[in-house]
Amino acid sequence: MSKKKVMIFGCGGMLGKAVYEKFKERYDVLATDIDVNETWLEYLDVRDLNAILKRVADFGPGLLINLAALTDLEYCEKHPQEAWLTNALGQENIALAGQKFDIACVYVSAASVFDGKQEFYNDADNPKPVNVYGKGKYYGEVVTQQMLKKYFIFRAGWMMGGGIKKDKKFINKIFKQVSAGAKELFVVEDKHGTPTYTVDFASSMYNIVQGDFYGLYNMVCTGSASRYEVAKEFIKCLGLEKEVKINPVNSAYFEKEYFAPRPKSEKLINLKLQKRGMLYMREWKECLAEYAQVLKKEKLKHASHKDAEPQRKE
């Protein structure tokens, strides 16, 4: 019997790595991105509807997964039209392809669709985004729900994963600082959320799309924390708690660098997944411990490759 086919958009990023690795075990995968940073990636821009329709028609997938996004909040604030074209219209284009060829679609949304005034948000709470990125992600949710019957929307929290090369977010920013020798860190304690490990997210997505319980789901690691608590736990996982001091600060400390408005709380609850017996996400601390080991191994490997390189004579 021939393998099932899946086409993935924006697969070159931190989540794409885990999704590709999970799906390639059983699927024939066509992985695409505008950043062709792997041999298994093909160039495709989600802003280009005709290119999407043509490639979907040629490949004939049974599932479309959209991971393409501009996820840098400050970049999105500075370039609202570009952010909308990728984060919102990109998803509308993929939903159009799903509609035209009657293919189920997966859209990955974010906790940033909420305004952060509540402490916790379940799947049914009303989105009210406070920044350009969140507005684009919310548009993507709405258009998917309006256009398609067969869709899965999975809302992620603070993403962690992908390794040194691909992780653009908080954990790798901390890892880079300590790898460069920082002995003191400053981390905000007034922002709260739910870490989401790419490996768990990808395998949970894989399990759920085998069935047909379509709809919108919050899908984050269990538990929640402030940025400060996550940083403290991460430093502990790296075994550096005696060497690195972490100072809790207020968001105002970083207001120039991180000027995009951010919700105070982005804590999601996996209410629907839990009630339907489909909660496959582990606790964030367990995932973070695993990811810390991945980063440490990658760093060692990188260092040993460097040592093995022939030294250039002056």
Closest approach of Cβ 297 to ligand NAP, in Å?
A: 20
Rounded Cα gap, residues 264 and 128, in angstroms: 13
Closest approach of Cβ 9 to ligand NAP, in Å?
A: 6
Q: For the chain, what is the largest distance between any 2 Cα atoms, rounded to a whole number of angstroms?
A: 66
196 closest CA partner among 170, 164, 232: 170
Residue closest to ligand NAP, measured at CB: 13
Q: How many helices (H) and strands (E) does the chain have?
A: 12, 15
Rounded Cα gap, residues 197 and 284, in angstroms: 7
Q: Which is nearer to ligand NAP, 17 or 272 (CB)?
A: 17
Report DSSP letters for 140-189, one per residue.
HHHHHHHH-SSEEEEEE-EEE-SHHHH--SHHHHHHHHHHTT--EEEEES
191 closest CA partner among 266, 111, 284: 266
Closest approach of Cβ 101 to ligand NAP, in Å?
A: 19
Q: Which is nearer to ligand NAP, 11 or 237 (CB)?
A: 11
Q: Which is nearer to ligand NAP, 46 or 238 (CB)?
A: 46
Closest approach of Cβ 234 to ligand NAP, in Å?
A: 15
Closest approach of Cβ 4 to ligand NAP, in Å?
A: 22
| Backbone Cα Rg of the chain | 20
Q: Which is nearer to ligand NAP, 64 or 68 (CB)?
A: 68
Residue 285, token pair as written in the block = 């601390």
Binding site for ligand NAP (CB under 6 A): 9-10, 12-16, 33-35, 45-47, 67-71, 86, 90, 108, 110, 137, 156, 158-159, 166, 168-169
Q: Which is nearer to ligand NAP, 166 or 244 (CB)?
A: 166
Alpha helices (runs of H) in the chain, residue ranges in sequence order: 14-23, 49-59, 73-78, 80-84, 90-101, 132-147, 163-166, 170-179, 198-209, 227-237, 271-275, 284-308
Q: Which is nearer to ligand NAP, 191 or 244 (CB)?
A: 191
Closest approach of Cβ 29 to ligand NAP, in Å?
A: 16
Closest approach of Cβ 124 to ligand NAP, in Å?
A: 19
Rounded Cα gap, residues 60 and 151, in angstroms: 17
156 closest CA partner among 245, 69, 41, 60: 69
What SS3 state is found at 190? coil
Closest approach of Cβ 13 to ligand NAP, in Å?
A: 2
The C-alpha angle 286, 289, 295, rounded to 5 degrees, equals 140
Q: Which is nearer to ligand NAP, 133 or 228 (CB)?
A: 133
Q: Which is nearer to ligand NAP, 15 or 246 (CB)?
A: 15
Q: Which is nearer to ligand NAP, 167 or 233 (CB)?
A: 167
Closest approach of Cβ 139 to ligand NAP, in Å?
A: 12
